[in-house]
Amino acid sequence: MKWKDAAITLAALAAIVAVSVVAYRRETRPRADRCAVCQRGMHAGVTFRLELKSGTREDACCPRCGMHYEIQHPNAVGKAWATDLSTGAFIAAESAYFVEGGDVEYCTMHSTPVEREPQTVAVRDYDRCLPRLVAFRTEQAAAAYQKQHGGQVLNYPQAMARVKEL
């Protein structure tokens, strides 16, 4: 009887361990529909793609998150691609023009809004995706967006410098 009870207990423990390992691996595996940096959902118009020297690819929800990845992993990135907001096509990040700031939220548009209650102060202290950064193939397209939505037009080195600062 003791041998049978021990066998059942061991089998139950083995099943628990197996299920735990599978659940842990599934939970910690990066999801393709999530940003590799901040784990927010992806947004087709502002996706930033990183081709790593290892041959793999990482997608970020926006240029700011992608540039944070580049800064944090300086020797890992081979090529960076930004999405041209006007056309939805990927363009080489180093040749893109970026608008920083502006009045349109992309990464945070589906986030829980900051609750504002009477007699209180509610402020979003820090958000990796802010200030917004969107990419364009041409400086003229970036300037047209800036004229309509505000912000500042930057080239790639300037945008990287701003991400490092903030």
Q: 32 forms bridges with which residues in the sheet? A: none
In the DSSP assignment, the letter for residue 140 is H
Q: Of all residues in the chain, what percent carry a pLDDT higher than 70? A: 77
Nearest Cα to 157, choosing from 107, 116, 110, 96? 96
Q: Is residue 81 part of a domain?
A: yes
CA distance 51 to 73: 12
Greater pLDDT, 34 or 19: 34
Which domain covers residue 45, as residue numbers? 30-120+127-165
Q: Is residue 53 part of a domain?
A: yes
- Name the token pair of 28: 């910690």
Greater pLDDT, 17 or 34: 34
pLDDT tens figures, 89-99: 999 999 999 99
Pairing of strands 48-52, 77-83: antiparallel
> Which one-letter amino acid corresponds to residue 23?
A
Alpha helix stretches (DSSP H) within the chain: 2-28, 63-72, 139-149, 156-165
pLDDT for res 4: 80
Q: How many domains does the chain have?
A: 1
Query: Which residues neighbour 165 within 8 Å (Cβ) at sequence distance 6 or greater?
Result: none
CA distance 85 to 77: 22
Q: What is the pTM of this model?
A: 0.71
Quick check: 104 and 129 in contact, CB under 8 A?
no
